[in-house]
Amino acid sequence: VVIVVLFRDHNSKQRERNQYKQRKALLTTQSPPTVSLTVMAKYAYAPLQIDQNRRGNQGGSSGNNLSGMMMSSSNNNNSNIPSQADKDDGNDQLVQERMPMCVAICVLLAIVFVLSKGSGDIDLQAQQQLQQQQQHSLRSMDTPQVGATAATATTATTTASGHHSEVYPKPGMVQQQDLVDMNMVPEAAPDSLAAASTTTVNTATIETPPVASCPDCPTCPEPTTTTTTTTPNILDDPNALMAKLRQDALDSTPPHIIECSSAEAGESQDACHLPKSERYTALGQKGATLWMTGCSGAGKTTIATALEDLLVKHHGKHVYRLDGDNLRTGLNRDLTFTEADRAESVRRTGELATLFSDAGVITLVGLISPYRGDRDLVRKRHEDQGIPFYEIFLDVPIDELKARDPKGQYARVDSGELKHFTCIDDPYEEPLDPEITLKTHELKIEESAKILLQRLEKDGILMGPPKVTPPGLPNPDGDLLVDLLVSPTEAPSKQAEAATLPKVLLTDIDLNWLQTVAEGWAAPLTGFMREGILLETLHFNSLLVDPFNITGNGDKLTTKTKFEDFNPHRPNHRVSMPIPITLSLTEFTKDSIEESGKQDVALVTRMGKMIAILRNVEIYENRKEEIVTRMFGAIDMGHPYIKNIYAGGDYLIGGEIELLERIVYNDGLDQWRKTVTELLQEFDDKGADTVYAFQTRNPTHAGHAYLMKSAGEDLKRQGYENPVLWLSPLGGWTKSDDVPLDVRVKQHEEVLKMGTDHPGGLDPASTVMSIWPAPMVYAGPTEVQFHAKSRRCAGASYFVVGRDPAGMKGSMEAVAHQDDDLYDGNHGRYVLQNSPGIEDMKMLSFVKVMYDVTDNVMKVPDESRMDDFISISGTKMRLLARNGAVPCSATDIPTDLVEANCIPSGFMVPDGWDLVVDYYKNIDNTTRWIPWSQPHVDPPAAEGTVSTGSFGFSTFAMQNVGSASFWHDIEYMPSAYKADKGIINMVTEIPMYMAAKMEVDKSSPGNPIIQDSNKDGSPRYYTYGTPFFNYGLIPQTWEDPDLKTGLFGGDNDPIDVMELGSTSLKMGSVTPCRVLGSMELIDEGEMDHKILCISLSDPDASRIHNMDDLEAVKPGYIAKIVHWWKYYKTSDGKDVNSLGSETPRTVDQALQVLEEVHHRWRSLCGLDGTRRTALSSHTDGFWLASQGCRA
C-alpha cells in the first residue's frame, strides 16, 4: 500500500492546485475492484466546525462532509474547483481542513485495491460489476443520500462512557454476504443492516447501481442487490478480514518511525525523547509493567487495585491500571474474542503499557491474555525499549474459580449458555517462566499486593535513580555510593601533595567523623559541611540535593556558599541530615591557610599522620551557641558533647574529602569495622532481601536477642524470605561512663558463637556484626534520626528503636532536668517516624520483655501469670555484674536476685556474662579497656629506641637503647662539633605535625619519653593547631627554679628546643642543631626558655645562621613562632601567655642561657661537687642514677 502524505507549501500554491485537480480526476475516473468491508466507526480527525456560509457557497452539505470535500455542485460541474483555488488565502485554510478526508479516501482506495489484487477467486464479470459499483459509489458521495442511507450517513455514536464523537458518514449499503459485526451480535439478514449500523462498529457494504443514473432521475430508485457466489475465502469472515488487514499493515510498517533528525530509520528513537534516567530521577520512580495473567476470576483486577492503592496512597507513586474493562470501553471496543482479536488486544495493550512505562508510570495490566506467544511479544517489546516487564501468573484451580465466579460466567458456561470460554473450552497457555506466581486462593489480597510491592522495592522500581545496592536493599541517601578512599595508584602522589599543603589538625572525634563521611555513612555528604549545608542541617534536619543535576543544582554540596546568588530552581529531592558534621579550627590555622594562598589543605591526626586532603575549602564562623541550641534543644554546659563543641576553634572549615589511606585503629577490633561498600557485599553474600539494624550501647542479653529474633520472624511473615540482622555496636566517641567498646564487641562475639543454642544467642548465618563509626552526641530525638539515616545508607530498611534513644541525664549544670532525662522517652521514636527525608525506612519499636522463670527465656510477659516473670533492669544487671553474680539454679530462681547474688542462666550467654563481670569488677582500671575508636599507631620512632605501651596513651614509654637516659647520658654538644660552640644536640620528643604532647619523664628510671598528661590524668595534646616545628630537649641541661630571670624562676625541666627546618624528625632521635636564638615564655609563673635552632641536615641549614637569616629565607616565620607561644593554650580555655620579649634573643644571648642551664644540670648531678641537699626541693623524685649523671 502506498500512502502519499501531503505537506502544504504556502510558497507553491499553483503546484498544489494542480495536484488537487489530478486527485479529483483520479477519484472520478478510476474504478478499483470492490469488496465487502466492515468499516470502523470514525472519529473526527480534523476540525469539522467549518463556517456554514463557506459550505453554502461551495454547494456542500453540512450533513455530509464528504460531499463538501469533493466540492460537487448540483449539476455535477467540476469547473468550480479551480475557481475556489484562485480565491484569497482564506480558502487555503478550507482546503487544509478538508485535506485529512481526502487522504483517508486515498488510503481506503489503496487498501481495497490491494485486497482485490489478492482475491483470485472472483471472476472477471463479478470484478467488473464491483468496479462499476465502486465508481458509482464514489461519484454519489457528492450528493446527499436519502431514506435509509441518509440516516446512516448522519449517525453519531455514543460510547459506553458517554463520550460523544462524530462519525464520518457512510452511504447505506447491502452486504455481499451475511456478516457478523465485531461485537459478536447475532447474524443479521440484509433487512436488519440498518439496525446493526447503530452499534459501536458499523457494517458498510457495496451496492449495485441502478440502470438509470441518479442525477437524471427526480428520485433515486431503490438499490438493487447483486449477490456473487464465490469460493469461501477470507472475505467471507469480517473478523478474519480485519485481522488480515491489521497484520498486513503491521508487517509493512517499520519497527521504528523516524521521530526526529537525531534518530535513524529502523533504530531506537530514544534520542528524540527526554532520557529515561533524567525522567525517572525527576519523577522519583521508574516505569515498569506488571502484566497479570490468569483465568477469569483469578483476582487480576482485585490485586491490581490493591497494589495501586498501596503505591499511590502509601508511597506517592504514579500508577495506572489497565484491564479488559477500561480498555474495551475505548481502545479495544472494536475487538471481539476471536484468537486474532485477542492477540490484537494484547498487542495494543502492550504498546500502551510500553508508552506508559516509558513515561515513568508503574503500569498494572490485568488481562487474561491466554496465548503465550502474544505475551512473549509484549515482553520483547518492553525488553527492546529497556523497560522492566513482570509477567505475573495468577495460578488458581478451576474449581476455586468456579466457586468464586464473581460475574456468574462459569455458571453460564456450565449451563451451556456461554461457549468458547477461556480456561474451559478455549485454551489458556500458562506462563513457562513468570517473574512471579501468585496462588491467590492461598493468599489474602493484601498479602498478594505486598509480595508485588516488595518485588518492586527490591528491584529499585520505586526509586527514580539507578539502583546501586544489592536487590532488596535501599539506595543510600542521594542515590550514590560514597567511598572517598583514593586508589592505591594515586595515593603516593596525593601524599606528596599533602606534604606541601597547609595542615589542619584532627582530634580523635574529628577522625571518627572523617571516617563516617569518607566511608559513605553520611551520604550524600562528601566532606565536612560548608556553611549553607550546616544551616540547612540546623534548621531543617535535612538537605535539598540534586546529585544528578536535574535542576541545575548538581554541585550544591561541593561549591562555596553564596548568600546573594541563588539558583532559581530548587533541588528536587530531600534527604535526612540531622547532625552537623563540621571541622573546627583556630584563628592560627585559619591565618596559615589564608597566607598560603592555597585552596586545599591536608588533614593531620594528632599523631602527625597526614590522613586526607580537603579540597576547595570554605572557612566561616563557628557560631557555637546557635549550633548547640538548635542541635540539642537544651542548655547544659556540663553535657559532654556540648563541652566538645565549645572547646573547638572559633572557625569552621568545609570542603570535599580525599582519604589518603583507610582509617584503622589497630585496637584488635578492626575486623569488625566495615565500610558501607563492604557491608553491602556481606549482606548480598548472605542473600538478604531486607536488612534490619539493631544498635547496641550495652552488652546484649536475652531480652535484646528476643527482640531481634522476633523482628526477623515478623519480617518473614510480611513476605521476606531472608531478612538479615545487622548487629551494630556504637564505635565512635562515647561518654566516660558508657560500657567500653571492646567489652561490648567481645561480648557480642560470644553471643554469635553461642548461636541458637542459648536464648541469648543469635544465629551467625543470618546476622552481620559491624561497628558503626560515628561518635555519639547524646542529642536525643535529633540524633536518633542520624542513627537511622546512616544505617539506611549502608543497606538497612528497618531500624530497631527503643525508649529514649540517644538520650542521657542532664548534668548538674543543666538549666533544667538536672540528673534527670534531658528528653522525654517517647519523643525519639515519634520524631524519627515523622522526620523529613527518612524516605521509606521503617521503625521497629522495642517492647517490654521480662524473664520467664518457667522456661528461663526472656519474652513479652503473659498478663495472666505475671508472678512467673521477673524484671532485670540495666541498673540491676550492672550491680549484679559488679558483685560478681553467679548463675542461679535453673529450677529455683529467687525473686530478689541482688540478695541472692545470682543471675538467671537464660539471661545472657555464659561466656558473655563472664566478660561483663570482669569489666565491672575492674571498671576503675581505665588503661585496660578500649572505651571507643581511637587510633593505636606505632610511634614515629628513631633507630636505637624501644617502646612499650600504646602510643598516645598514658601507658606509652620510649627508651634509648644505646644509653640509659635521654636526659643525662647524651652529650650536651656533639663531639664532632666541639670547636663550634653554636652546635648542640637535640633530642626530639614531638616530631613536626604531631599534636601528642610528649616529654622526658624526669622521675622514671632511664628518663623515657612519655605521654604528657592533663591534671585529670588524660593524655595531653596540642589543640591550637598542628605544630609546624620539631620540638624536644637539649640533654644535660636543667632550668633551675631557684635561678631567677627577673621575678620568674626556671620551669624545673631540661631546656626546650624548637627545630625550625622543613623536615619532620623521628621521636627519640638525636640531631646536631645550629642555635639561631631563643625566646622567653612566661608560663604560669615560670620562665620557660625556648632555644631556636635548625638541623644541620636541613636543606636550608647552609643559608640560615641566625634570626635575620631565618626571616630572610622564611618571611613571616618569626611572627608565626611568637603567635604560637602566646596563644597555643587559649584553645584549652586558658589565658594568653606572656613573653619576656616578642623579639627573639640573639645567638650569643641564647648560648649564654645554654651555658647557664648546662652548669645547673652539673650541679643537679653533683658533678661540680654540689650536694643534693643543697638543691631545690623541686628535684625530689628525679631519677639521677644514670652513668652520665654520676660520672
Contact 36, 233 (CB under 8 A): no
* Number of other residues whose CB lies within 10 A of the CB of residue 1020: 17
Span of 8-17, 586-595, 731-740, 1070-1079 with lowest mean pLDDT:
8-17
DSSP assignment letter at 136: H
The model's pLDDT over 1045-1092, given as tens digits with 9 standing for 90+, comes to 778 888 999 999 999 999 999 999 999 999 999 999 988 788 899 999
Query: 680 — phi, psi (to 5°)?
Result: -60, -40
Q: Grid coordinates standing for 315?
A: 508511597
Number of H helices, E strands in the chain: 34, 37
Residue 173 has pLDDT above 50, yes or no: no
Close Cβ partners of 1107 (under 8 Å, ≥ 6 residues apart): 1076, 1077, 1092, 1118, 1144, 1146, 1147
Q: What number is the average pLDDT over the span 703-728?
A: 93
Residue 407 has pLDDT above 90, yes or no: no
Distance between CA atoms of residues 100 and 97, nearest Å: 7
Instruction: Say which residue, 170 or 1180, is predicted with more confidence.
Output: 1180
What residues pair up with 601 in beta bridges, in sequence order?
614
The model's pLDDT over 79-133, given as tens digits with 9 standing for 90+, comes to 444 444 444 555 555 555 666 666 667 666 766 565 555 444 444 444 444 444 4
- How would residue 195 be classed by pLDDT, with cut points 50, 70 and 90? very low
Tallying the residues shown for the chain, one arrives at 1191
- Short-list 1166, 1151, 734, CA closest to 932: 734
DSSP assignment letter at 839: T
Selecting among 137, 140, 345, 369, the annotated active-site residue is 369
Residue burial 519-530, b: 16+ Cβ < 10 Å; e: rest? bbbbbbbbbbbb
Alpha-carbon distance values, 5 to 1, 103, 253, 1138 (Å): 13, 8, 15, 95
Instruction: Say which residue, 18 or 1168, is predicted with more confidence.
Output: 1168
Q: Which amino acid is at 652?
A: L
- How would residue 180 be classed by pLDDT, with cut points 50, 70 and 90? very low
Q: At what angle do helices 124-140 and 89-118 cross, to 10 degrees?
A: 160
Phi-psi region of 945 (alpha: psi -120 to 50; beta: other; left: phi over 0): beta
Residue 607 has pLDDT above 60, yes or no: yes
Instruction: Say which residue, 389 or 263, is predicted with more confidence.
Output: 389
The model's pLDDT over 811-830, given as tens digits with 9 standing for 90+, comes to 999 999 898 889 998 898 89
Distance between CA atoms of residues 802 and 75, nearest Å: 94
**Angle ∠(718,723,726) on CA atoms, nearest 5:** 135
Contact 986, 1070 (CB under 8 A): yes
- How would residue 1005 be classed by pLDDT, with cut points 50, 70 and 90? very high
> Can you say whether the dihedral through the CA atoms of 515, 521, 525, 531 is positive or negative?
negative
Distance between CA atoms of residues 576 and 784, nearest Å: 11
The model's pLDDT over 144-155, given as tens digits with 9 standing for 90+, comes to 333 333 333 333
Residue 264 has pLDDT above 80, yes or no: no
Q: Grid coordinates standing for 1172?
A: 643534693
The model's pLDDT over 224-237, given as tens digits with 9 standing for 90+, comes to 555 555 555 666 77
Alpha-carbon distance values, 601 to 484, 587, 986, 1051, 1137 (Å): 16, 15, 30, 36, 28
Q: What percent of the chain has pLDDT over 70?
A: 80
Average pLDDT, the chain: 83
Look at residue 94 and give its three-state secondary structure: helix
pLDDT score at 911? 96
Q: Which amino acid is at 744?
A: R
- How would residue 186 be classed by pLDDT, with cut points 50, 70 and 90? very low
Q: Which amino acid is at 843?
A: M
pLDDT score at 231? 54
**Angle ∠(860,862,864) on CA atoms, nearest 5:** 165
* Number of other residues whose CB lies within 10 A of the CB of residue 979: 6
Strands 767-769 and 723-729: parallel
Residue 6 has pLDDT above 80, yes or no: no
Q: What number is the average pLDDT over the span 989-994?
A: 95
Span of 11-25, 558-572, 1136-1150 with lowest mean pLDDT:
11-25
Distance between CA atoms of residues 245 and 209, nearest Å: 27
pLDDT score at 103? 64
Residue 844 has pLDDT above 50, yes or no: yes
pLDDT score at 198? 35
pLDDT score at 805? 84
**Angle ∠(165,168,171) on CA atoms, nearest 5:** 135
Residue 1025 has pLDDT above 90, yes or no: yes
- How would residue 767 be classed by pLDDT, with cut points 50, 70 and 90? very high
Instruction: Say which residue, 75 or 299, is predicted with more confidence.
Output: 299
Please provide the DSSP assignment of 292-339 as one string: EE-STTSSHHHHHHHHHHIIIIIT---EEEEEHHHHHTTTTTT--SSH
pLDDT score at 251? 81
Distance between CA atoms of residues 507 and 645, nearest Å: 12
* Number of other residues whose CB lies within 10 A of the CB of residue 1131: 22
Q: What DSSP element (H or E) covers 153?
A: helix 147-153
pLDDT score at 166? 28
Distance between CA atoms of residues 1050 and 532, nearest Å: 50
Instruction: Say which residue, 18 or 1141, is predicted with more confidence.
Output: 1141
Distance between CA atoms of residues 899 and 758, nearest Å: 25
- How would residue 60 be classed by pLDDT, with cut points 50, 70 and 90? very low
pLDDT score at 149? 33
Distance between CA atoms of residues 715 and 460, nearest Å: 19
- How would residue 1021 be classed by pLDDT, with cut points 50, 70 and 90? very high
pLDDT score at 223? 53
The pTM of this model reads 0.78
Contact 1078, 1145 (CB under 8 A): yes
Whether 369 is catalytic is: yes
Please provide the DSSP assignment of 510-560 as one string: HHHHHHHHHTTTTTT--EEPPHHHHHHHHHHSEEEE-TT-SSS-TTGGGS-
Residue 1173 has pLDDT above 60, yes or no: yes
Span of 182-196, 206-220, 878-892 with lowest mean pLDDT:
182-196
Q: Which amino acid is at 1144?
A: P
DSSP assignment letter at 1080: E
Residue 498 has pLDDT above 70, yes or no: yes
Residue 10 has pLDDT above 60, yes or no: no
Strands 319-323 and 362-366: parallel
Q: What percent of the chain has pLDDT over 90?
A: 62
- How would residue 142 be classed by pLDDT, with cut points 50, 70 and 90? very low
Distance from the Cα of residue 1071 to its chain's centroid: 54
Strands 869-870 and 857-859: unpaired
Instruction: Say which residue, 873 or 644, is predicted with more confidence.
Output: 644
